[in-house]
Structure 1
Amino acid sequence: MAGSRLRIIVTGLAALYPVGGVAWDYLQYIVGFARLGHDVYYHEDSWSWPYHPIQKTYTADPTYSVDYIADFFKTYAPDLTGRWHYLHLHDRSYGMDRSAFDEVARTADLFLNVSGACMIPENLSANCVKVFLDTDPGYNQIMLSERLSWSENVDRWCATVAAHDRHFTYAENIHGADCIVPRMDFAWKTTRMPVILDLWSGPAAEPADSARPWTTIMTWNAFKGKLVYKGVEYFSKGTEFEKLMHLPRQAQARLKVAVGGVDAPLDRLAEYGWEVVDGPGATVTPADYQRFIAESRGEISTAKHVYVAMRTGWFSCRSACYLAAGRPVVVQDTGFCSIFDCGKGILAFNTPEEAVEAIRRVERDYSRQACAALGAAAEYFDSDKVLARFIEDAF
C-alpha cells in the first residue's frame, strides 16, 4: 500500500478555530498528501459551534468558517478547492455535498484523524485504516487513563480513540526511558508536523534585520480543569511562560508575544517589557500568521508544562513554521534534543538563563543560524519526507 495511490481523508479543526496557526497545522497535511500523488480530502465534523475570531464568540452561524476554508484552498492549493467537506453541527454539509463525501468515505483507504478532532464517518469503508494522531501528548494520554470528569463527553472520546486501528503521536520521546507519559494499551508510533516548504518561501526570502523582535504565538491556558495523574498536577503553557517574565530585561532584546487564552496576564507581561498583541487578532488569517513570523527575528517560547514535565519529545508545529521561514527558534526542551540536532537553528533551553544565552548565541552568528533553521526545516519537517514515512508506518 505504501507505494500505491491512496484515497485519504484528513480531519482537522480549521472550521472550529478559523485562525492562521490552526489552518496551517491541519491543512498542510492535505496539500502534502496531494503532492505525493494521493487522492486526498479534508473533512471536519466536530459536532461543535465554531469560533468567530472577529466577533470573539462561538456561533451557530458557519458562514465565516466556511469562507475561511474555501479561501485557504483557493489561495494555497487551488487544485484542491473541491476536496473539502465541513459537516456543521453534524447536520449540514458545506464544500462537498453529503452524497459526494459519503462516496469518498465508502472507498477510502486511510482516515487520518488529526488531534482526534472528528467523529469517524458512519459509512467509512470497512477496509479503511483509521489513524488517531495525538497532537497534544501527555494531556491526551492522561485523559485516556483518568477520564477526568470535567472533560465534556470524555467517555465517548475515549471510545472513539480506541476505535482507531493505529495510534500515532507527536510525543517523539514516548518510548524513551525518561518519558513518563502513560502509554495505556496503545502501540504508539511517532510522527511530526509536515511543512510545505515552498509555501513558506515568501517569509523565508524576507530579511530579518536586527531591529525585529523575537516573537511567539501562544495560548496562555487551554485547560478547562485540573489535569492530574498519579497525584501530580500538570499545567498548560502559561505556567512555564511565567518563568520567562523577566526575559526582556535579562536578554536586553525586543521580545514580542501574540497571546490568547484564559487569564493571560497581558498588563504584567507589558510591565516586564514584553510587546503584547492579541494572538487571534494578530494572526487571524493564514497570511497574517506568515506575516507575523516573517516580521520576527526568531522565535522564543516555552512549551506546555505537561510536555516538559513528562519529557514527551514534542516539538511545536508553530516552531516548524518559523524554521521553514528561516527564523531560528529558541524553545523550551521537552526531550527533543535526543531526536534533533540542537544548537543549529533549533536551540533548546531549560532555564531563563539558558534562554538568554541561546538568543545571544544566535545573534553572534545570525546568518549561519538562519541558514541552519532552513536546513532543519528541510531535514526534519519537509512534508514529502514526513508523510512518506507516515504512510509506511500506517500500513
Structure 2
Amino acid sequence: MHGPSRQKRVVVFGIMGQMPFAGMAWQVLQYLEGFRRLGWCVHYVEDTGQWPYDPERQTVTDDPAGEVAYIQRMMEWVGLPEQWAYRSGVDGRIFGLTDSGLSAVLAAADVLLNVCGATVLREEHLAIPCRIYLETDPVLPEIQAARGVPFTMNMLSAHTHHFTYGENLGEPDCGIPASPFHYQVTRPPVVTDWWDAEPPSDTGAPFSTVAHWKQTDKDVEWNGELYKWSKDVEFRKFLELPRRCPEPFELALTGIDGEGRDELESLGWRTADALRVSGHIETYRDYVRAARGEFTVAKDQYVRMRSGWFSDRSVCYLAAGRPVITQETGFSKFVPTGRGLFGFETLDEILDAVDRIAGDYDAHSEAAREIAADCFEAEKVIGKLLEEAGL
C-alpha cells in the first residue's frame, strides 16, 4: 500500500513589489493561481537584491514598507496571505515569512520559477532540484549569451531549464541567435474567469492599450544592425490610423512628455495616464473591460527578429472577450488569427481588421475568449511547461 502522494511545491520568484504596477502584478498572480489550480503548494518570493522603488516619487528609496505592503495586498487578493517572503535589498531583512520559514520553504521546494529571469539565484536557491528561467522578453538575453557576457552566462547557468515567450525561437525565419543554452518555448498564461466581462457598455469605447512610450535602455546591436526596445518606434509607423478609421483609439502611456501627448492628440489619438490605469489591479482590469478591443504594436526587437513573442497584456484583453489587433512577430504561426485576434504588418491590414470586427463584433468577441481559453489558459500553459520540464 502506498500512502497519499506528497503535494508538489513551487516557489515563484518575481518583481511585483519592485515594479508595483498592475501589469506586472497580473503576470505573477496568474502564475500563482495556475499552479494552485493544478494542485501545487505555492509560495511567492521576492529577492532581487535591489533597493525598493517608490512609484509615487518615481525613485528608489531605503524604506521597504511600500513594497512590503504592496506584496501583502496582492497575496491577500489571490488568497495566499501567508505564503510569501520579501528580502530587502537594503539590509537583507526578510518580511512575510520568518527567516526560518523561508529557509524551510526553499528546502522543501520541487520547482523554482524565476519569472522574467529577474532574480540572481543565491546558494540556497540552487538546492531546489528544478530551477526554471522564465524569459518573458526574448532577444537581448540570447544576444548576450551568444557574445558570452559573463553575467548572463552565470545567470542562465544557475538554472536547470530555460523557457521563453519567443515561440519562434530556432525556426528558420527567426533572427535571434542560437544560444548555448537549450530553450523551450512557452506562452503567457491567463486565468480566463478572472477577466469575464459583458460587452462594453459605451458605444464609443475605444481600441486601447497600455504602454511605455519611449525607453532605450535595452537597445542592442547584432550583426551590424541596431534593434530597438522603445515602443514609440513602431507606433510612429501607424500614427495616421485615427485619421483613416472612424473607430476611436486610446493609448494609456507612461514615458511620454506633454509635447508627445499633444502630438498624438493632434493626430486623433486619445491618451490616458498609464500610471493611473496601472495603480491598482482592479483599475487595470476595468480599463481592459471598458475597451472595444486592443490595438497595439510590439517592440522593434520582437518584430524584426520574428521572435514569435506574444503579450501577457493582450491575453487579458482576449480573456475579457475584447478582440486584439497586434503587430506581427511571427506569433500567428502558433496561435489562430483572423477571428478575435489579428496580426498586422501594414496600416491597410489594421483597417481591414477593424472593419471585420465591426461587421460582427459578437462573433469576434466570442472568438477572442475561445483563443484565450484554448491557447493561453493558465492551467494549460503551466501544465505544458511542467511536462516539458519533466515534471
TM-score under structure 2 length normalisation: 0.93
What corresponds to 1:246 in structure 2? 240
TM-score under structure 1 length normalisation: 0.92
Q: CA deviation at 1:122?
A: 2.4
- Once residues 206 and 92 of structure 1 are traced to their aligned partners in structure 2, the CA distance between those partners, rounded to angstroms, is 47
Cα RMSD of the aligned pairs, angstroms, is: 1.8
Say which is worse superposed, 114-123 or 210-219, in terms of deviation: 114-123
User: How has the CA–CA distance of structure 1 residues 119 and 262 changed in structure 2, closer, same or farther, with 3 Å as cutoff?
Assistant: farther
Q: Deviations over 1:159-200 (max 9, x none)?
A: 112221111000111122100111211111010111111211
Q: Deviations over 1:231-264 (max 9, x none)?
A: 1100122211111211111122211001113679
One-letter amino acid matched to 1:294: R
What corresponds to 2:86 in structure 1? 86
Q: Deviations over 1:58-83 (max 9, x none)?
A: 222222221112112222x22x1111
One-letter amino acid matched to 2:299: K
1:293 and 2:295 equivalent? no
Unaligned runs of 5+ in 1: 148-153
- Once residues 199 and 304 of structure 2 are traced to their aligned partners in structure 1, the CA distance between those partners, rounded to angstroms, is 36
4+ residue segments displaced more than 4 Å: none
Q: Is the 8 A contact 1:106 1:125 kept in 2?
A: no
**Following superposition of structure 1 onto structure 2, how do residues 128-167 of structure 1 map, counting pairs within 5 Å?**
128-146=129-147, 155-167=150-162
Match of 1:68 among 70, 77, 89: 70
- Once residues 304 and 240 of structure 2 are traced to their aligned partners in structure 1, the CA distance between those partners, rounded to angstroms, is 22
**Any idea what SS the aligned residue of 1:205 has?**
coil
User: How has the CA–CA distance of structure 1 residues 72 and 327 changed in structure 2, closer, same or farther, with 3 Å as cutoff?
Assistant: same
- Once residues 224 and 257 of structure 2 are traced to their aligned partners in structure 1, the CA distance between those partners, rounded to angstroms, is 25
Q: Deviations over 1:130-177 (max 9, x none)?
A: 111111011221233347xxxxxx633431122211110001111221
What corresponds to 2:207 in structure 1? 214
Q: Is the 8 A contact 2:141 2:152 kept in 1?
A: no
- Once residues 143 and 259 of structure 1 are traced to their aligned partners in structure 2, the CA distance between those partners, rounded to angstroms, is 29
What corresponds to 2:14 in structure 1? 12
**Following superposition of structure 1 onto structure 2, how do residues 197-346 of structure 1 map, counting pairs within 5 Å?**
197-201=192-196, 204-205=197-198, 207-224=200-217, 226-236=219-229, 237-261=231-255, 265-346=260-341
**Any idea what SS the aligned residue of 2:127 has?**
coil
What corresponds to 1:39 in structure 2? 41
Q: Is the 8 A contact 2:112 2:128 kept in 1?
A: no
Q: CA deviation at 1:383?
A: 0.9
One-letter amino acid matched to 2:247: A
Say which is worse superposed, 63-72 or 122-131, in terms of deviation: 122-131
Say which is worse superposed, 280-289 or 55-64, in terms of deviation: 55-64
**Any idea what SS the aligned residue of 1:347 has?**
strand
Q: Is the 8 A contact 1:221 1:263 kept in 2?
A: no
Q: CA deviation at 1:284?
A: 1.1
Q: Is the 8 A contact 1:181 1:312 kept in 2?
A: yes
What is the number of equivalent residue pairs in this alignment? 383
User: How has the CA–CA distance of structure 1 residues 334 and 226 changed in structure 2, closer, same or farther, with 3 Å as cutoff?
Assistant: closer
User: How has the CA–CA distance of structure 1 residues 57 and 186 changed in structure 2, closer, same or farther, with 3 Å as cutoff?
Assistant: same
Q: Is the 8 A contact 1:208 1:296 kept in 2?
A: no
Q: Is the 8 A contact 1:222 1:262 kept in 2?
A: no
- Once residues 232 and 140 of structure 1 are traced to their aligned partners in structure 2, the CA distance between those partners, rounded to angstroms, is 16
**Any idea what SS the aligned residue of 1:72 has?**
helix
Q: CA deviation at 1:127?
A: 5.2
Q: Is the 8 A contact 1:17 1:50 kept in 2?
A: no
- Taking only the aligned residue pairs, the percentage that are identical comes to 37
Q: Is the 8 A contact 2:126 2:158 kept in 1?
A: no
What corresponds to 1:151 in structure 2? none
One-letter amino acid matched to 2:88: H
- Once residues 257 and 100 of structure 2 are traced to their aligned partners in structure 1, the CA distance between those partners, rounded to angstroms, is 44
**Following superposition of structure 1 onto structure 2, how do residues 101-112 of structure 1 map, counting pairs within 5 Å?**
101-112=102-113
- Once residues 225 and 23 of structure 1 are traced to their aligned partners in structure 2, the CA distance between those partners, rounded to angstroms, is 22
